[in-house]
C-alpha cells in the first residue's frame, strides 16, 4: 500500500460542476493517507495520530478530519477556536505568540498546552496560579544539537526551552518548585525529521535530559514527516527506534503523539482555475499564484485540463497586476483559450491557510469531494459541514 493516493479521476472529470476558482479536497485521498500513516506508525505502540492545523484551518474540512484522526495541534488562539467548532476531542497547543488569558482559557478547557519558554510559564503562573495549586503542565523543549539543515531546526530554532542552558534550567526548576508543578507532557518540533540519524540524535538528547522530568506521560514528537516517508529504508527502523527508546527510558509514558500537517493534507487538494484571457502567449487565470502558493509553488503541476487543443508552450499567469504572479513559465500544455480551465495538484496544504489578499482578491471557495458529490465547506466558525 503506497502513501500516495491515486488521482481521483471521477472528481477531475466532474470538476466542470463547480464554479472557478475552487479548491477541492478529496475525502478518499485523506482517509487513504491517514490509514497508511496509522499502519506505518503502528510500531510505536502508544502512538496517537494528530494533525497540525497550520497546514489547513478550514472549519468544514477539520470537522471531517476530527472523525478520522485522534486529535489536532494548534499554534494560535484562532486555530483553537476552529478546533473547538470542528469537534476535535483532543487538542494540543504550543506557541510563544498566544496571550496569557488565552492560554488560561485553553487550559481550563482541557487543552494540552505546552509552554514555549520560561517567561511565558512564569507570566501564566503569576496571573492564574497565585494560590500555588499543584498542576500537571507541559513544556516545549528546544533541541540544541548540531544536526541543522535547510528544513531542520535544532540548535538554530527560536522555539522551546533549552534546558541544557544552566540559567534556563535553574529558572525552570524554581518555577516548578514554587508553583507545585509536575511536568507530564514534553513537546518538540524540529521542522523536518529528515532521516534516521536526525531522529536518533534527537532521541539521544531527550534521554539525557528527561531525568529532569520523571513524570512525563505524553511525548509529542511534532510533525515534519514528509521527507522521512520518502525514504523507505529509514522509515521502519526510525519508528522501531522510537518505540525502543520510549519503552526503555520513559516508563510512565502513556502516549507518543505525531502531528503531521503537510503529509496529511497536501495530496488531497486540487485547484480548479479558469482562463480569463490570453495575451501574446500569456494565459491569465482567475486565481493568483502569488496569493496562493508561495510555499508550495515548486511542487504544483497541471493534472487535468478541459482543453483538447494541441500541446504548445504557454505561460500561465495569475490574476493580479504583479509581474511575477506566474504559475508556470513557458510550460507545455493543451492550448488554453477563454473559459477553458485547468486543475492543479497538489494543493491541500499551506495554500488557502497561508493565502495573501493582493488587490483584496478573495480566497477560492473550498469543497469536499465525498460520496461522489461536491460539498461546499464553510470557512467561518458559525457553520460546520462534514
Q: How many CB atoms lie within 10 A of CB 184?
A: 18
Residue 346: cis peptide before it, omega within 30 degrees of 0: yes
- Between CA 140 and CA 114 the distance in angstroms is 5
- Between CA 40 and CA 65 the distance in angstroms is 19
User: Are the CB atoms for 344 and 271 separated by under 8 Å?
Assistant: yes
- Element spanning 119, H or E: helix 118-128
Classify residue 148 by its DSSP letter: -
Is 126 an active-site residue? no
User: Are the CB atoms for 135 and 180 separated by under 8 Å?
Assistant: yes
Residues near 209 by beta carbon (within 8 Å), at least 6 away in sequence:
141, 163, 164
Q: Which of 354, 352, 334 is CA-nearest to residue 275?
A: 334
Identify the active-site residue in 321, 360, 362, 382: 321
CA–CA distance from 312 to each of 178, 315, 329, 331, 335 (Å)? 71, 10, 12, 8, 6
- Element spanning 33, H or E: helix 27-41
User: Are the CB atoms for 333 and 342 separated by under 8 Å?
Assistant: yes
Catalytic residues, which ones? Answer: 321
Amino acid at each position: 500500500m503506497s502513501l500516495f493516493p491515486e488521482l481521483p479521476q471521477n472528481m477531475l472529470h466532474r470538476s466542470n460542476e463547480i464554479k472557478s476558482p475552487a479548491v477541492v479536497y478529496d475525502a478518499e485521498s485523506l482517509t487513504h493517507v491517514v490509514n497508511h500513516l496509522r499502519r506505518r506508525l503502528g510500531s510505536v505502540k502508544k502512538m496517537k495520530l494528530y494533525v497540525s492545523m497550520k497546514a489547513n484551518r478550514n472549519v468544514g474540512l477539520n470537522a471531517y478530519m476530527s472523525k478520522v484522526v485522534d486529535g489536532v495541534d494548534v499554534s494560535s488562539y484562532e486555530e483553537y477556536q476552529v478546533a473547538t467548532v470542528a469537534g476535535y476531542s483532543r487538542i494540543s497547543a504550543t506557541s510563544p505568540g498566544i496571550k496569557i488569558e488565552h492560554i488560561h482559557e485553553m487550559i481550563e478547557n482541557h487543552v494540552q498546552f505546552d509552554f514555549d519558554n520560561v517567561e511565558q510559564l512564569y507570566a501564566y503562573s503569576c496571573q492564574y496560579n497565585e494560590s500555588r495549586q499543584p498542576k500537571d503542565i507541559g513544556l516545549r523543549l528546544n533541541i540544541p544539537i548540531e544536526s541543522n539543515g535547510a528544513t531542520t531546526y535544532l540548535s538554530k530554532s527560536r522555539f522551546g526551552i533549552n534546558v541544557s542552558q544552566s540559567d534556563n534550567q535553574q529558572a525552570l526548576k524554581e518555577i516548578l518548585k514554587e508553583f507545585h508543578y509536575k511536568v507530564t507532557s514534553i513537546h518538540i518540533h524540529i521542522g523536518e525529521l529528515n532521516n534516521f540519524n536526525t531522529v536518533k540524535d534527537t532521541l539521544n538528547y531527550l534521554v539525557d535530559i528527561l531525568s529532569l522530568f520523571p513524570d512525563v506521560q505524553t511525548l509529542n514528537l511534532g510533525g515534519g514527516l514528509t521527507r522521512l516517508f520518502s525514504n523507505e529504508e529509514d522509515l521502519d527502523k526510525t519508528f522501531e527506534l522510537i518505540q525502543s527508546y520510549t519503552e526503555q527510558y520513559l516508563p510512565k509514558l502513556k502516549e507518543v503523539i505525531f502531528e503531521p500537517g503537510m503529509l496529511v493534507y497536501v495530496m488531497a487538494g486540487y485547484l480548479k482555475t479558469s482562463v480569463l484571457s490570453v495575451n501574446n502567449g500569456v494565459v491569465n487565470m482567475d486565481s493568483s499564484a502569488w496569493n496562493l502558493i508561495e510555499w508550495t509553488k515548486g511542487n504544483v503541476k497541471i493534472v487535468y485540463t478541459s482543453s483538447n487543443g494541441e500541446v504548445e508552450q504557454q505561460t500561465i499567469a495569475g490574476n493580479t497586476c504583479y509581474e511575477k504572479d506566474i504559475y508556470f513559465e513557458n510550460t507545455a500544455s493543451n492550448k488554453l483559450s477563454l473559459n477553458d480551465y485547468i486543475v492543479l495538484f497538489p494543493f491541500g496544504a499551506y495554500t488557502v491557510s497561508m493565502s495573501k489578499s493582493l488587490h483584496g482578491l478573495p480566497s477560492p471557495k473550498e469543497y469536499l469531494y465525498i460520496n461522489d458529490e461536491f460539498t461546499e465547506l464553510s470557512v467561518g466558525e458559525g457553520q460546520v459541514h462534514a
